[in-house]
Amino acid sequence: MRSYSLTAAAKINLHLEIIGDRPDGFHELAMVLQSVDLCDRIDLRPLSTDQIRVHCNHPEVPVDQRNLAYKAAALMAAEFPDTFAQYGGVEINIHKQIPVGAGLAGGSTNAAAVLVGLDLMWQLGLTQSELQELGARLGSDVPFCVVGGTMLATGRGEELAPLPDLNQIYVVLAKYRSLSVSTAWAYQTFRQQFGHAYVSNVQELETRRQRVHSGPMVAAIAHRNNTEIGQRLYNDLERIVLPEYPQVQRLREQFQQQGVLGTMMSGSGPTVFALTESQTQAEQVRERVQVAIADPDLELWVAPLTNTSIRIASSRP
Ligand code: C5P
């Protein structure tokens, strides 16, 4: 059996709209999701015992059953018990580069890499949609992370429709190291504050979905109009997170002053990103924001957008 080394890309939300409640307790969403070439590395090595072992270079990432990569391996073992019994367990080494608790789908993309990697290691030959269906059982962002690129996501976030690839856009990401936001808290608080405006019938729900399908962000992407993409960035969860965390609001204002295409919080935050049309400009923005905020707790990254999520870096017997 072979060992695999994979890279797993982060995601940002170009559009995140909360439409209403779902019977399963989640929220009905309309999102545009985008992969960013800021990657974790996931190494998978077969074990002769029937264990799942996780190691991670980041001290805050749990390596037990709470880890989404562990859950992905456990799900594969449960789904394919004969293969698991035949081949034995797996050791998962996670080399984190994507910030944790950041709104960048770091955990989800690690889980997606484990699904893709174990499919290869165990020679299961699963289709992309089978991998996505398994991913949906682990978290709302995992199905997107299996495939990546630029996608319209509806439902819980797992109903995906591809959009044209974006080219020549760079992203500057900024996050306070000591700050992380619970996604469940952000959605719950949104429900408390704005739940009265949720769509409550099926027909209205469909109308709202269609509005996003033909909405300004999707149109801007179809026309590859980078200026328009920057101007149309949208995230409902900013209404919850920014008032609670003034430092994130200030960060967002700093980015705004830099003449970028646009700036927005990603997912449930607290990472803020800005889009630029060149790497040089992105590097300049990073420098200027770092100097302006002058806080050693602030971390910044520059990365291009990417059309893929999980890549096989190497494989060996
Ligand atoms: O699916 P995931 O585990 O990433 O979701 C984390 C939390 O975010 C959920 O427990 C839920 O509170 C909230 N959420 C939601 N609606 C979604 C996705 C996430 O309410 N569509």
- pLDDT tens string, the chain, 317 residues long: the values are 899 999 999 999 999 999 999 889 999 999 999 999 999 999 999 998 999 999 999 999 999 999 999 999 999 999 999 999 898 899 999 999 999 999 999 999 999 999 999 999 999 999 999 999 999 999 999 999 999 999 999 999 999 999 999 989 999 999 999 999 999 999 999 999 999 989 888 888 888 888 887 789 999 999 999 999 999 999 999 999 999 999 999 999 999 999 999 999 999 999 999 999 999 999 999 999 999 999 999 999 999 999 999 999 999 99
CA gap 42, 111 in Å, rounded: 10
Catalytic-role residue among 40, 43, 119, 141: 141
Number of domains in the chain: 1
Active site residue 11: yes
Q: Which of 19, 159, 187, 240 to mutate for ligand 1's pocket (most ligand atoms within 8 Å of CB)?
A: 187
Output the pTM of the full model.
0.96
CATH code for the domain of 228: 3.30.230.10
Find the domain containing 206 and state its range: 1-317
Residue 289 pLDDT: 98
**What DSSP designation does 305 have?**
B
CA gap 9, 37 in Å, rounded: 6
* Cα–ligand 1 centroid distance for 102 (angstroms): 14
Q: Which of 18, 22, 28, 183 to mutate for ligand 1's pocket (most ligand atoms within 8 Å of CB)?
A: 183
The answer, yes or no, to whether any atom of ligand 1 lies below 6 A from the CB of 26, is yes
Atom 9 (ligand 1): residue with closest C-alpha?
184
List, in order, residues 6 or more apart from 246 with CB less than 8 Å away: none
Residue where the block lists tokens 């149309």: 232
